[in-house]
Amino acid sequence: MGITARFRSMPSNQMELERVLRETDVSPDDGTVTNDSFADRVGVSVIGRSASTSGKPSDIPWANGQFLVNRSGTLGGGTILDTDIPASIARDTEVSAAQAAAEAAAASALSAHVAASDPHPGYLTPAEGNAAYDAIGAAAAVLAYLPTVLGDYANDAAAATGGVAVGRLYHTSGAVKIRLS
C-alpha cells in the first residue's frame, strides 16, 4: 500500500516530529487499498455506516434469511416487510378474495344458466324442434300430393309406355316408385 504524507519541512527533534504526525492527515494513495489491507471482518456483512451520518465505517452484519435493508435511515439486516412491496403488487389476501369472488360469480352464473327455461334462445329446445319438424306428417303430406302430379302405372313397363323416363318417379295405387328399366 502506498501512503503519501507531505511535510513543509522535516522536524528536527522527536517531540516536534510526534506533534507534526498527530496533526498531519495521512491517507493511502488512490487504488492502493486492497481486501488484504483490511482487518478480518465479521462474516455475512458489509463495511460502511449503518446510520445516515458521517464517521468511521464498521461492519454491518445480518443473519441467515435476512436482507440488507434501510429502515428509517438505518442500514442493517432485516426481513422484507409488506411496506417494502409497492402498493401496485397484489397481496395474497387480495388475490384470495378476488379468486373467491370470481368462483362465486361463476357458480351463480352456472346456476342461473341451468335454471333458465331457454338458456340459448338462438337454438331450438327439444320441444321447439319437435314442434317445428314433424317428419311423419311432412312425409305423409308429400306422399298424398305425389299421386296428383305423378302418373299411376302398374309397373316399370307401363310407366315406360306412359313416357316416364328411367330414374323418374311414378306411382302404383299411391305407392311412389322409381322407374329402373
Structure confidence by residue, pLDDT tens digits, 52-61:
888 888 888 8
- Regarding whether 49 and 8 lie in a shared domain, the answer is no
Q: Is residue 114 part of a domain?
A: no
Reported as a pLDDT band with limits 50, 70 and 90, residue 118 is confident
How far apart are alpha carbons 179 and 164 in whole angstroms?
7
- Regarding whether 46 and 27 lie in a shared domain, the answer is no
- DSSP lists the bridge partners of residue 142 as none
Q: pTM of this prediction?
A: 0.32
- Terminal CA-to-CA distance of the chain, rounded, Å? 120
Range of the domain at 20: 1-37
- Regarding whether 56 and 21 lie in a shared domain, the answer is no
Task: Find the farthest-apart pair of alpha carbons in the chain and give their distance in angstroms, rounded.
Answer: 154
Rg (CA), the chain: 51
- Regarding whether 90 and 48 lie in a shared domain, the answer is yes
Q: What is the pLDDT of residues 140-160, one digit of tens each?
A: 777 677 777 888 899 999 999
- Regarding whether 72 and 24 lie in a shared domain, the answer is no
Q: Is residue 52 part of a domain?
A: yes
Cell numbers found for residue 95: 388475490
CB 2 within 8 A of CB 32: yes
Q: Is residue 125 part of a domain?
A: no
**Domain count for the chain:** 3
- Regarding whether 54 and 27 lie in a shared domain, the answer is no
- Regarding whether 78 and 60 lie in a shared domain, the answer is yes
How far apart are alpha carbons 172 and 152 in whole angstroms?
5
How far apart are alpha carbons 81 and 96 in whole angstroms?
19
Q: Kindly tell me if the per-residue pLDDT of 91 is higher than 80.
A: yes
